[in-house]
Chains A and B, each alone.
Chain A
Amino acid sequence: MSNLDTHLPNIAAGDPDAFARWVAGAEFRVRASLTSVSGSVDVESVVQETLLRIWQVAPRVEPDGKPNCLLRLAIRIARNLAVSDLRRRRVRPAVVAALEAQPLDDRVEATPPDPMLRTAIAECREKLPGKPASALNARLRGPGTPDKTLAVRLGMKLNTFLQNVTRARKLLAQCLERRGVDLENELA
């Protein structure tokens, strides 16, 4: 098991590069911890808010002797944010209760990048046709930009832009499947 807390001293000292290395290993575990409420909470916004809060609180975190204390804290923060959001929107109390009753998985494991997967995706991405490739590339290069703006930059209507991104994803998935890459296994 890799211990992402090796980055904690530098993160606490305000090093964003160290935080980037921690996020690269932690994001998917935090995201996966919200799967049970993905029908009731916008997981993406909770994950982003969690990562921002971890950056803010990291200087005050005291390691507890077990590995990945910062990741365990992130999972706890993500759950609390989800619960707050559910309560604020008055979502069915049963959903909130189920989330609160769910045991926190203490056996967290960081996910290292897979170089084989990277090669397969890069090769499949190169085969994408023009417009789907342009739309997907715009999304990848401008994650902080709304789709409407990205579409205008590409001279597309919003719906056309979204259709092209969807098509790009489907073509990528089909290409990866032909190469024997199962993203579900990568997520496991």
Chain B
Amino acid sequence: MTAADERELLIEQVVAAWRPENQDGGVRAHPAWHDLDEAGREEAATRAMRARVMEAALDPEGLSTTARLVLAKIRG
């Protein structure tokens, strides 16, 4: 696997809404985010924005995966 391939896989992981939690329930950065350089992190954020727009457009309530994840936590 090339360095470019590995970078792509790291970015794709960061684009996901899933994030680990602190012991106090706070939201932590994705582990793969720490392995990206500044440009990779910016690219991941741009792709995540596009992904959330698509997810919200597909959802009957207009909710992205971020929104549904947060609401699931609130609703317990």
- Please give the residue numbers on chain A whose beta carbons come within 8 Å of chain B beta carbons, in ascending order: 16, 19-21, 23-25, 27-28, 31-32, 34-35, 38-40, 42-49, 51-52, 55, 113-114, 117-118, 121-122, 125, 139-140, 143-147, 159, 162-163, 165-166, 169, 172-173, 183, 186-187
Q: Can you show 23 pairs from A to B with CB atoms below 8 A apart? A: A20-B61, A20-B71, A24-B67, A38-B46, A39-B39, A42-B19, A44-B14, A44-B19, A44-B48, A45-B30, A46-B27, A48-B17, A49-B26, A55-B74, A114-B57, A139-B65, A143-B69, A144-B18, A162-B9, A162-B12, A165-B12, A172-B54, A186-B53
Main secondary structure of the interface of B (DSSP, over half): helix
**Known: A45-B28, A52-B73, A147-B16. Contact between A20 and B67, CB under 8 A?**
yes
Which residues on the B side are within 8 Å of A165 (C-beta)? Answer: 12
* Interface majority SS (helix, strand, loop, mixed), chain A: helix
* Pair B74/A121 contact, Cβ less than 8 Å: no
- B18 x A27 contact (CB < 8 A): no
Known contacts A16-B74, A39-B42, A52-B73, then 13 further A-B pairs from the complex at CB < 8 Å, ordered by chain A residue:
A16-B71, A31-B48, A42-B41, A51-B66, A52-B70, A118-B57, A121-B58, A140-B55, A143-B69, A146-B18, A166-B8, A183-B53, A187-B49
Report A112 CB to chain B, min CB distance, Å: 8
Separation in Å of the A66 CB from the closest CB of chain B?
Answer: 24
**Chain B residues near A (Cβ < 8 Å):** 1, 8-9, 12-19, 26-30, 33, 38-39, 41-42, 44-58, 61-75
Q: Do A24 and B56 touch across chains, with their CB atoms under 8 A apart?
A: yes
- C-alpha gap A46/B47 in the complex (Å): 16
Interchain CB contact (< 8 A) of B9 among A47, A163, A173? A163
Give the chain B neighbours of A24 by CB distance below 8 A. 56, 61-63, 67
Residue of A nearest to B48 (CB): A44
How far is it, in angstroms, between the C-alpha of A42 and the C-alpha of B54 when the chains are bound? 20
A140 near B8: Cβ-Cβ < 8 Å: no
Q: In the complex, are the beta carbons of B65 and A143 less than 8 A apart?
A: yes
Q: Is the CB of B65 within 8 A of A140?
A: yes
Q: Is the CB of B56 within 8 A of A113?
A: yes
Q: For the complex, give the distance between the alpha carbons of A164 and B40 in Å.
A: 19
* Complex: chain A residue closest to B67, CB-CB: A23
A19 interface neighbour in B30, B38, B48, B74, Cβ under 8 Å: B74
